[in-house]
Amino acid sequence: MTLAADDPLGRTPDFYSYPSRPIDTAAIEEGFVVIRWADGAELRAYALWLWENRMADQGIDERTREGKLDPAGLPDAAVLRGARISSGHLVVEWHEASSSEFDSGWLRHVADGHESARSAIPPSEHWTAADLSELPTRPGPPVLDGDEAAVAEWLRLLCRFGVARLEGLPVDESVVGEIGRRIGALRDTNFGVTWPVSVDLAPTSTANTSLPLAPHSDLPTRETPPGHQLLHCLINTCQGGLSTLADGYAVADHFREHEPEHYDALATLRWTFFNRSPDHDHRWSGPIIDEGAPGSPLTLRAFHPVRGFPDMAATDVPRAYAALRRFSAVAGSTEFELRSAFRPGDLVAFDNRRILHGRTAIDMMGGTRVLHGAYIDHDEIHSRLRVLTRRTASAPMSTPQ
Ligand SMILES: [Fe+2]
């Protein structure tokens, strides 16, 4: 698959050229064109979906390769009159004596599921401390230098495990932003585009104290909390302050399978979260374990320093607290929690909505600990990974395992 942005007469409703995949048969069945390939692959393409995807500046705008039809103006599905094959491509005949050609390679990529939202994104692998004895780690300098294969390999690890570390990076506070921009746009918040995590005499967040941090996810005060977090270690000469990480999928699995009453409370009862900065008042209400709609990523809301009044019936509050206590105990147990020391030059990326992170108390006597962080959403990680997968794939895009 190659980019075909300069092709003025595109054959496909996007900017990619697909290897030809000659179609074997095409037949009309109840408003669908059923397209089959010799290897057994099949695509049932509805008449109006094909109508919307007509090239030659009909359904698809040639300049943007985006659809330009208002659904209110769609014809009846009976517009479909015939289907045949020409040079391996699909030709559809319409009732008004016009016809449209559809690229066989593009149709095959749809048949293979590569137009789905999960295309090229490795499936999540749920892990406990026994499964992942140490953080998945790759060398940092190739990623900082923009080596596309190295960036793609690191992002695949991040999607699989929800956490992936880079090591050996320069110790400079600009690095976290540079690494983030190898992926895409950073997410700005009231903490800034990038932000320090160090012990602060006038802290605006518990993160900037020497207190221990229980297993948590950042910014549950937002409708959609940041998708990922990048934390780069600049200095660490402290005792304590070990970084803790636990897989929220595995923790949710545990409750669903072994403590279903607590799971129900965690997944359905809502809490209000609000930040308490003098100049900001972000608030959101949601459950601790938010599975979202089918196919959505997991969202954990678990930053207890900003948890407010229970947003639930008073009769539910006792079981909500009982479940919350178990949730934090399980997430912080040796069965689920990995502990590691930040080394200067390490950058740990993790899924902020999936991975519960925290730290042990920092002993400031005789040492300093300075991290620099940034947020970047799932959209940016997934987009970059799809683009890199397309660029480096010699065959049609597949989902790397
Ligand atoms: Fe945090």
Measured distance CA(386)–CA(56) in Å, rounded: 27
Going by pLDDT thresholds of 50, 70 and 90, the confidence category of residue 5 is very low
* Alpha carbon 97 to chain centroid, angstroms: 45
Q: Is the pLDDT of residue 7 over 80?
A: no
Report yes or no: 191 and 176 within 8 Å, Cβ to Cβ: no
CB 307, CB 273: distance < 8 Å: yes
What pLDDT score was predicted for residue 6? Answer: 47
Which residues have CB less than 5 Å away from ligand 1 (the ion)? 218
What's the CATH superfamily of 137-387? Clavaminate synthase-like (3.60.130.10)
Query: Is residue 338 a contact partner of residue 350, using CB atoms and an 8 Å limit?
Result: no
CA distance 401 to 391: 17
What are the tens digits of pLDDT across the range 187-202? Answer: 999 889 999 988 654 5
> Do 278 and 308 meet the contact criterion of CB atoms below 8 Å apart?
no
> With contact defined as beta carbons under 8 Å apart, do 235 and 318 qualify?
no
Confidence bin at 212 (pLDDT 50/70/90): confident
Whole-number Å distance, alpha carbon 361 to ligand 1 midpoint, is 14
Report how far residue 271's alpha carbon sits from residue 276's, in angstroms, rounded to the nearest whole number. 16
The CA 215 to ligand 1 mean position distance, Å, reads 9
Tens of pLDDT, residues 297-352 = 999 999 988 999 999 999 999 999 999 999 999 999 999 999 999 999 999 999 99
CA–centroid distance, residue 75 to ligand 1 (Å):
52
Query: DSSP string spanning 324-368?
Result: HHHHHHHHTSTTTEEEE---TT-EEEEETTTEEEEEPPEE-TT--
Distance CA 385, CA 364 (A): 40
- Give dist(CA 154, CA 143) in Å, integer: 8
Write out the two tokens for 357.
Answer: 């992170």
* Confidence category of residue 208, pLDDT binned at 50, 70, 90: low
- Backbone phi, then psi, for 100, in 5-degree steps? -135, 145
Nearest-10 Cα torsion for 233, 238, 240, 245: 0
Mean pLDDT of the chain: 90
Q: How confident is the model at residue 256 (pLDDT cuts 50, 70, 90)?
A: very high
Token pair in block for residue 176: 């976290």
| Within this chain, domains 2-115 and 137-387 share the same CATH topology | no
pLDDT tens by residue, 131-184: 998 899 999 999 999 999 999 999 999 999 999 999 999 999 999 999 999 999
Residues linked to residue 373 through DSSP beta bridges, in sequence order: 195, 231
**Greater model confidence, 158 or 120:** 158
Q: Are 149 and 177 in contact (CB under 8 A)?
A: no
Q: Could you tell me the distance, in angstroms and rounded to a whole number, from the CA of residue 217 to the centre of ligand 1?
A: 6
Apex 216 CA angle, 211 and 219, nearest 5: 100
314 alpha carbon – ligand 1 mean position (Å): 29
pLDDT (0 to 100) of residue 72:
95
Sign of CA dihedral 365, 371, 375, 378: negative
What spacing in Å lies between the alpha carbon of 77 and ligand 1's midpoint?
52
Evaluate if residue 109 carries a pLDDT over 80. yes
Lowest mean pLDDT among 115-119, 221-225, 380-384: 115-119
**Which of 91-105, 227-241, 272-286, 353-367 comes out lowest in average pLDDT?**
353-367
In contact, 16 and 108? CB cutoff 8 Å: no
Residue 15 phi, psi (nearest 5): -100, 25
Across residues 12-29, what is the average pLDDT? Answer: 91
User: Alpha-carbon torsion 302, 304, 308, 310, what sign?
Assistant: positive
What are the pLDDT digits (tens) for 336-346?
999 999 999 99
For 117, which DSSP code? T
Report the distance separating Cα 67 and Cα 54, nearest Å: 9
CA 208 to ligand 1 center in whole angstroms:
10
Q: Amino acid identity, residue 72? A: A
Could you list the beta-strand ranges (E) of 40-193.
42-46, 80-86, 89-94, 99-102, 137-139, 163-167
CATH code, residues 2-115? 3.30.2020.30
pLDDT band at 398 (very low <50, low <70, confident <90, very high): very low
Strands 89-94 and 80-86: antiparallel
Centre of ligand 1 to C-alpha 93, Å, is 58
Q: Where are the domains of the chain?
A: 2-115, 137-387
Please state the pTM of the whole predicted model.
0.88
* Alpha helix ranges (H) inside 162-204: 175-181
C-alpha 111, offset from chain centre: 23
Strand 228-236 with 347-351, pairing: antiparallel
